[in-house]
């Protein structure tokens, strides 16, 4: 706080000391001194409000430090290093396992995040709770609405105002180690059966109500987003029956899958692409019976301490030249046709990243209600504590 | 004059105690009051807290009975296993080692505290994962042994993490032991084993009780070790609390559980102190 105040203040520390010495010598009146320094303070406070004095054009307005909240294995570390080299702003990366956790941190306040990566179905709730800023699109000139795919960008716009711009889209499927699991796994029904059979003690589910409950619902023939008590009760029963056979309940499944401790897991596209790239025997399949399709967005919390840096990083990431490197590293499919045209053929032809449209048809976008529904939260908590 | 001196002395005392009191008030008493207030409230529709006056949260406590039960079983079992492992070590340090090496050996017990428990627990994740100990077991014919993410792994992590906290109080009480009592016991014809059980062990019990109470209380709030070594499947009340605040965002229910946990801890502490006083025959309590 004090650090960024100093950097934003029009009056430098040296100047302040000069004024103080002038005051002590009696060269200026106390009134003059208070005027000069008081003005400095007032401007410093105003400078923190974006758009008055600070614009992204001035690198020295960005401070030295910013913080982003995102998902595990989701960025190319080189991107942040390059951003730091270009702007002098160091990026602190916080990773989370669920949207609930991000929401909980923002509700409690004092996160210090300047940019974060919420998933499509959470944005309307953030807007409703007044936790995120409407984006000042003038500060994100690299964003190009016309080249975006509407079905992935729609939820970033609430009542005609843009609150979030898309990072990438993806799916939630099944990653499995084909050298260990011989039974065919093509659906969530198969997933939960194999988890209790061939993959006993080796399967992982997310520590995340949306996907864990959602996929259990799908395996039973219900909607991924159901909040009907009788359907949730059946999903809970299934999850509690499967629990003793699970390897772990954890959203950070890459270490377990790579080490060979876990053989099968619920898995996001980008992780599936990374795992398959590095360990080819790990395959990624989508549930024939359904599952999740999603898009992740960038948004700026209302409580951000360094909004200029948040916008600067956002704009940097929206530059197709930078975004393309992110997509190659993290393996998630892009929503932006400018980026798609820059991506190498082996990425765009990867069926894990860009599956045929027919495989996407049974998938559902998460619904906003699942984020705040107390029944889903409680089913997850009872499953974990059972 | 004497009165003025007294007043002055009192003021100095007050000034010296004030920071500690302010600290405790701001960081212990105020948060506890907030927790009490939250615990009779309601979950807001989007999560968090909204004011109310209801005991519904406390009535809902049975919904976490499995987590309470896990904690109530694993905390005493963990601290008892700690005791069994720690006592011989403390005995060796206090009685058997030559004073020349004692300081060095005692420091070795403390050295692991210089590294974060998180880092050390991650190291255990690797050791217990399939590329660690199970891999070695595989070489001698025990295939596909799984240790990580089992209650056994959590117990191992607990004993490892809390061992120094058990060793130190026992070491301190054994070090104070009057050697002449051991000689007297031997002179009177007692064998070493009966000397241990009728002299050494009873005299070290205050240290044992302190260690047990310390480890049990900390274990009642344990979160990290079950999360990392239990794979999120071995659920302690600490994990239930984290979930209620970070996933379900049900602050009132979380507060009700936290209040209950505090009551349980105070209860455990009272019993432990009663027993310790009774055994030691004094109200002097050795906290390390």
CATH number at B230 reads 1.10.3720.10
Is B54 among the domain residues? Answer: no
Say if A377 is an interface residue toward chain B (CB within 8 Å). Answer: yes
Is B269 among the domain residues? Answer: yes
Is B268 among the domain residues? Answer: yes
Q: Which of B47, B64, B249 sits opposite A385 (nearest CB)?
A: B64
Sign of CA dihedral B2, B8, B11, B12: negative
According to DSSP, the β-strands at A282-285 and A165-177 are antiparallel
Tell me which of A50 and B160 has the higher pLDDT.
B160
DSSP character at residue A166: E
Chain A: give the shortest CA distance to residue B131, in Å: 7
pLDDT band at A344 (very low <50, low <70, confident <90, very high): very high
Contacts of B255 in chain A (CB under 8 A): none
Say if A382 is an interface residue toward chain B (CB within 8 Å). Answer: yes
Q: Which domains does chain A have, with CATH numbers?
A: 2-48 (no CATH), 59-169+295-348 (3.40.190.10), 170-293+352-385 (3.40.190.10)
Structure tokens at A183: 């039974």
Give the domain extent around B212.
65-280
pLDDT tens digits along B43-101: 988 888 889 999 989 998 888 888 888 888 888 899 999 999 999 999 999 988 888 89
Structure tokens at B94: 């206090």
Q: Average pLDDT over chain B, rounded to whole?
A: 88
Q: Among A244-248, A257-261, B277-281, which is the least confidently predicted range? A: B277-281
For chains A and B, CB pairs below 8 A equal 90
Question: Residue A285: what are its φ and ψ, rounded to 5°?
Answer: -130, 150
Does this model's pTM top 0.90? My answer is no
DSSP codes, B147-158:
-TTSHHHHHHHH
pLDDT tens digits along A136-152: 999 999 999 999 999 99
Q: Which of B43, B231, B249 sits opposite A248 (nearest CB)?
A: B231
Chain B: give the shortest CA distance to residue A131, in Å: 12
Q: Hey, is B228 helix, strand or coil?
A: helix
What number is the ipTM of this complex? Answer: 0.81
Is B263 among the domain residues? Answer: yes
Is B233 among the domain residues? Answer: yes
pLDDT tens digits along B216-258: 889 988 999 999 999 888 888 999 999 898 888 899 999 999 9
Structure tokens at A346: 């082996």
Q: Among A51-60, A170-179, B3-12, which is the least confidently predicted range? A: A51-60
Residues 6+ apart with CB under 8 A from A187: A219, A287, A288, A289
Is B49 among the domain residues? Answer: no
For A21, other C-beta atoms within 10 Å of its C-beta total 11
What's the distance, CA A67 to chain centroid?
Answer: 13
Instruction: Pick the closest to residue A354 from A267, A272, A278, A251 (CA basis).
Output: A272
Number of domains forming the structure of chain B: 1
């Amino acid at each position: 706080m004090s650090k960024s105040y100093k950097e934003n203040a029009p009056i430098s520390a040296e100047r302040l000391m000069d004024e103080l010495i002038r005051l002590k010598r009696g060269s200026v009146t106390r009134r003059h001194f208070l005027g000069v320094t008081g003005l400095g303070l007032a401007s410093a406070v105003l400078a923190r409000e974006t758009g008055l004095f600070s614009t992204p054009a001035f690198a020295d307005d960005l401070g030295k430090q910013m913080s982003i909240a995102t998902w595990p294995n989701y960025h190319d570390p080189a991107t942040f290093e390059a951003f730091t080299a270009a702007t002098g702003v160091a990026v602190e990366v916080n990773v989370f396992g669920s949207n609930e956790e991000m929401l909980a941190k923002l509700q409690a306040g004092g996160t210090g995040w300047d940019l974060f990566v919420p998933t499509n179905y959470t944005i309307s709730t953030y807007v409703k709770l007044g936790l995120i800023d409407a984006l000042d699109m003038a500060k994100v000139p690299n964003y190009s609405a016309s080249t975006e795919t509407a079905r992935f960008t729609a939820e970033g716009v609430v009542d005609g105002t843009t609150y979030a711009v898309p990072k990438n889209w993806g799916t939630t499927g099944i990653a499995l180690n084909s050298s260990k699991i011989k039974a065919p796994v093509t659906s969530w029904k198969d997933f939960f059966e194999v988890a209790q059979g061939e993959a006993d003690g080796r399967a992982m589910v997310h520590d995340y109500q949306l996907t864990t409950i959602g996929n259990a619902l799908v395996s039973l023939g219900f909607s991924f987003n159901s909040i009907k008590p009788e359907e949730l009760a059946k999903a809970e029963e299934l999850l509690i029956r499967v629990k003793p056979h699970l390897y772990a309940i954890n959203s950070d499944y890459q270490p377990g899958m790579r080490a060979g401790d876990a053989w099968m897991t619920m898995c996001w596209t980008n992780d599936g692409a990374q795992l398959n790239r590095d360990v080819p025997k790990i395959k990624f399949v989508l549930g024939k019976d359904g599952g999740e399709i999603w898009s992740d967005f960038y948004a700026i919390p209302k409580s951000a301490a360094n909004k200029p840096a948040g916008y600067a990083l956002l704009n940097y990431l929206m530059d197709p030249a930078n975004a393309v490197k992110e997509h190659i590293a993290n393996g998630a499919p892009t929503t932006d046709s400018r980026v798609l045209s820059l991506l190498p053929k082996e990425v765009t032809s990867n069926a894990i990243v860009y599956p045929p449209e027919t495989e996407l048809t049974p998938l559902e976008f998460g619904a906003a209600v699942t984020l705040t529904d107390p029944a889903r939260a409680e089913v997850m908590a009872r499953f974990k504590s059972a | 004059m004497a009165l003025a001196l007294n007043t002055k002395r009192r003021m100095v005392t007050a000034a010296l105690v004030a920071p500690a009191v302010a600290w405790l008030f701001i960081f212990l008493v105020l948060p506890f009051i907030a927790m009490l207030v939250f615990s009779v409230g309601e979950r807001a529709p989007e999560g968090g807290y909204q004011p109310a006056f209801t005991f519904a949260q406390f009535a809902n406590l049975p919904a976490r009975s499995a987590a309470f039960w896990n904690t109530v079983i694993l905390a005493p079992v963990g601290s008892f296993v700690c005791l069994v492992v720690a006592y011989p070590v403390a005995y060796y340090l206090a009685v058997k080692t030559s004073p020349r090496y004692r300081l060095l050996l005692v420091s070795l017990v403390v050295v692991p505290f210089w590294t974060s428990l998180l880092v050390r627990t991650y190291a255990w994740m690797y050791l217990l994962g399939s590329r660690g100990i199970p891999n070695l077991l595989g070489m001698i014919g025990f295939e596909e042994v799984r240790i990580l993410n089992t209650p056994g792994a959590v117990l191992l992590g607990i004993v490892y993490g809390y061992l120094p906290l058990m060793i130190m109080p026992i070491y301190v009480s054994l070090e104070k032991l009057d050697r002449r009592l051991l000689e007297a016991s031997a002179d009177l014809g007692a064998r070493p084993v009966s000397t241990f059980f009728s002299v050494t062990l009873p005299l070290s019990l205050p240290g044992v009780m302190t260690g047990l109470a310390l480890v049990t209380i900390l274990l009642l709030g344990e979160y990290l070790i079950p999360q990392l070594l239990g794979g999120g499947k071995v659920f302690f009340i600490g994990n239930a609390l984290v979930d209620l605040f970070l996933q379900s965002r049900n602050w009132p229910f979380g507060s009700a559980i936290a209040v209950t946990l505090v009551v349980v801890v105070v209860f455990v502490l009272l019993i432990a102190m009663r027993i310790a006083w009774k055994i030691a025959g004094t109200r002097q309590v050795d906290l390390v």
